[in-house]
Amino acid sequence: FFLQSTSGASSISQKAAVAALGLGYAGGEAVAAMVKAFRERRDFLVKSFGEIEGVKISEPQGAFYLFIDFSTYYGSVVEGFGEIADSESLCRYLLDKAQVALVPGVAFGDDTCIRISYAASLPTLQAAVERIKKAIVSLRPAVPV
């Protein structure tokens, strides 16, 4: 009876590692360009959502998601839609009215917020923000700001 065992990184992983090492320190120019693009998108969204009355946002420290507090608009009633009662109904409203898909914060333990990814291109995010702003302007903050 003979038992043989081998272990180690797969050939695909080895080739990927060689390619990554060829990029240089911290990923080189390619990664630096991606970091710059994500920073620009993040900064655009933080500034744009910060301009909406009653919206609270803090600059994220990682990943490529923003948590934005729209809870001041909870309690608003929209003709033909109903009440914006929580993050789920706000996301449904924005999907219906602005054609922008967002993730309810309740899925992450914070029903006061919605989550938006800034992995999309800057032009896509700019168009989405304009549509969100138009949809939100028809609402009135239910809580005085």
Q: Is residue 54 included in any domain, yes or no?
A: yes
Q: Where do the H-state alpha helices sit in the chain?
A: 11-21, 28-50, 87-98, 122-137
Average pLDDT in the 3-22 region?
74
Inter-residue long-range contacts of 10-15, CB under 8 Å, 24+ positions, other chains counted: none
Task: Lowest mean pLDDT of 37-41, 55-59, 127-131, name the range.
Answer: 55-59
What is the rounded CA–CA span in Å between residue 140 and residue 34? 38
- Identify whether 90 is part of a domain: yes
For the chain, give the percent of residues with pLDDT over 90.
64
Whether residue 30 is contained in a domain is answered as no
Please indicate whether residue 48 or residue 19 has the higher confidence score (pLDDT).
48
What percentage of the chain exceeds 70 in pLDDT? 88
* Residue with the larger pLDDT of the pair 4 and 50: 50
Residue at 42 is within a domain: yes
State the total domains in the chain: 1
Q: Is residue 6 part of a domain?
A: no
Residue-number span of the structural domain to which 125 is assigned:
38-137
The model's pTM: 0.78
Q: How far apart are CA 134 and CA 116, in angstroms?
A: 17
Helix (H, G, I), strand (E, B) or coil at 117: strand
Q: Give domain status of residue 145, yes or no.
A: no
Q: What is the mean pLDDT of residues 89-114?
A: 97
CATH number at 51 reads 3.90.1150.10
Amino acid in position 138: S
Query: What is the DSSP-derived secondary structure letter of residue 83?
Result: E
Report the range of poorest mean pLDDT among 14-23, 75-84, 134-143: 14-23
10 falls within a domain = no
Q: Tell me whether residue 4 is in a domain.
A: no
